[in-house]
Amino acid sequence: MNEPFRQRRVRIGALTVALATLFVVAAARLAIVVLVDGPRLAEIARSEHTAVMTLAPVRGPIVDRNGAPLALSAETRSIYARPRRLMRHSTAADRARLAMALGLSDAELEARLGRGEPFVWLARHLPPARARAVAELGLDGVGAISEYKRYYPESNLAASVVGLAGMDGQGLSGVELQYDRLVRGQPVELEFYHDALGHPILDSPLALRAAEPGARLELTIDSSIQAAAENYLAAEVAKSGARRGTAIVLEPFTGEILALANAAGAGVNGDERLHDTAVQDAFEPGSTMKGLLGSIALADHVIAPSQMIYCEDGQWRFAGRLIHDDDRHGWLNLGGIIEVSSNIGAAKIALALGARRFGEGMAAFGLGHRTGIDLPGEAAGIIRSPSEWKPIELADHGFGQGVAVTPIQLAVAYAAIANGGMLMRPYVLKAAYDSAGDEILSHQPQAIRRAIPPAVAHQMNLLLRNVVSGKDGTARLARVADFTVAGKTGTAQMVNPSTGGYYQGRLVASFVGFVPADDPRLVILVVLYDVAHGHFGGLYAAPVFSEIAAAALDRLGVAPPQAPPSYDTASLVPFGSDNAREPVALRIADSPAALAPEQSGGGIPDFLGASMRDALALARARGLTLEIKGHGYVVAQSPAPGRNSGAAGVRLTLADDPAVIAGADLPHRAHPERRENRFISRFARRMRP
């Protein structure tokens, strides 16, 4: 084999090996591309012609208990830009016209486009006319999408309760935040195809799905009562020079909030939609604590209603401190202490109770603990452990100094006195409904605990009436025409946070009460913050209570009670009239003697502890004739419960005297468990829909 031929074969062999190697490399690369990188590359290819759009849902409406809208959503257009594309396909004159249509200056528009971002918002929630003006420019790189803007048709009505929704549809405060997951609905992400220029292809699934609208929230708020509370409160804040004020209207047997109003004074900055003073701020309750103190002392048998306490003629030095009253008082019983609002009397009762029992009593009323109201940011108040109280602090706590409570806590505590002793959880959401109208959430009255026995609640009810109607009462301006009012005034010094002491000329004036006192329908609290010296709760907060109560009772259609007839001699009450009141069904699981006729076997029911109204209704349901003496609540009956009535009627003795209600020596007197059942029956009727 000659040399040239051998060299040619070597070159051919080397070329063959090289080609084979390249083939193997190409095959391996192909395998890697197909088997390893295939899914990633396919995704990249799809992404070149697909896009994702998030469709925001319509935020659900918020309405009051009667269906009046408090928050709605309206469709708007929001304008965005792809800066690079816009800059490539537009002139300076085009962008100047765009800026004019958007209501921006040329410099503002150029600044937004020059951020180097691939996507920028140019304007959010534009009205339709302005959005059309932008669309008519036809600029490449400018687009628009539909969004929903939250607006409040009643302006700031119930602003603290309803709250605020942000630009992107998220809840920021109030019910808007508390129930954000329900009211905001379910957004939908849509993947659609587009051509090389980015235009959607019409057969993509873009129009095949819609976002799920948010739930409709129905509140316990009554717009009419809310408006009255806000108007009267704002007027008094302006008149008194208060820095701010709060008013709460509460249904005592259910815990429903009918109105919750906050008002700011002149020159005070603050957004009611972002901050709720009634729930999020604490204040020293002052003499409103005395109604709770008296209830705790009665329940703990530390004091009797008739027991006399010496009030030191208006000045008492204790533990190196001077405690004083606004007037000189000598010997007073519990009713007198509450009526004239004696600090000295309250301090002595607190000392007799002791720190532990007083602290436990306040905790039973919910003070120092969140009420559980369904609004965000609730404060717990400030009450230190009773083991840390010094004797002078215990005395001060008796008249509401040195402790801090929230307005909602104080209102709920007095609601327990009004409803017979049950602490109810307050709430503002009545029910929620989905887009189909089906109920997805509802709130029912929830009893947290028993704060005081029913008999004690009734005793305190009677004593608190003297604060308003007594000759020395501090809240005569809280009277409501034709109705009996029970309540308590409060005036407390404001704490100076820089010194830890008290301002001498800056006060918190308050009044809390319930009406009608003989059948409570409303608990109303009014607090005026940072008023000048001399602006007492009875002079400034009590009149607001009266105005709100009158408007609310009229709104609810509560008729004034008829003047009680004279029962000095026993009289017969027949039940044959067609106009007589329909019977009230009693639900008393623990009192068989008071069950409905079909459950009791026809015997005489147990009337003990019932009001005259309930006694009349039950007697009519049984076809009985009553002989009634006195007025108030039944303290004795003859014949005894369970016996056959025969042809004779039933004789009832009624009384308003706390000592009699508590079980004085009368025939067939009400045992504690029976009195408990009577108040439970009234509580159960209030809770029924």
Number of helical (H) and strand (E) elements in the chain, helices listed first:
23, 26
The span from the CA of 160 to the CA of 260, in Å, is 8
Q: Where are the alpha helices (H) located in 145-186, listed in sequence order?
A: 159-162, 174-178, 180-183
Q: What angle do CA 101, 107, 110 make, to 5 degrees?
A: 80
Instruction: Answer for the pair 654, 634: CB distance below 8 angstroms, yes or no.
Output: yes
Q: In terms of C-beta density within 10 A (0-12 exposed, 13-18 middle, 19 or more buried), how is residue 194 classed?
A: middle
> Of residues 224, 287, 546, 611, which has the active-site annotation?
287
Q: How many residues does the chain have?
A: 689
Instruction: Answer for the pair 82, 118: CB distance below 8 angstroms, yes or no.
Output: yes
The span from the CA of 193 to the CA of 50, in Å, is 4
Bridge-based pairing of strands 62-63 and 216-219 is: parallel
Residue linked to tokens 């959430």: 441
Return the beta strands (E) in 517-559 as ranges. 522-532
The span from the CA of 112 to the CA of 87, in Å, is 12
| Chain CA centroid to CA 319, Å | 41
CA dist list (Å): 131 to 75, 124, 152, 534: 12, 10, 22, 58
The span from the CA of 365 to the CA of 169, in Å, is 38
The H or E element that residue 597 is part of is helix 597-600
Q: Is 510 in the active site?
A: no
| Cis, peptide link before residue 252, omega less than 30° from 0 | no
Torsion of the alpha carbons at 203, 206, 212 and 213, rounded to the nearest 10: -110
3-state secondary structure 129-152: HHHHHHHCCCCCCEEEEEEEEEEC
The span from the CA of 680 to the CA of 668, in Å, is 20
| Residues assigned a catalytic role | 287
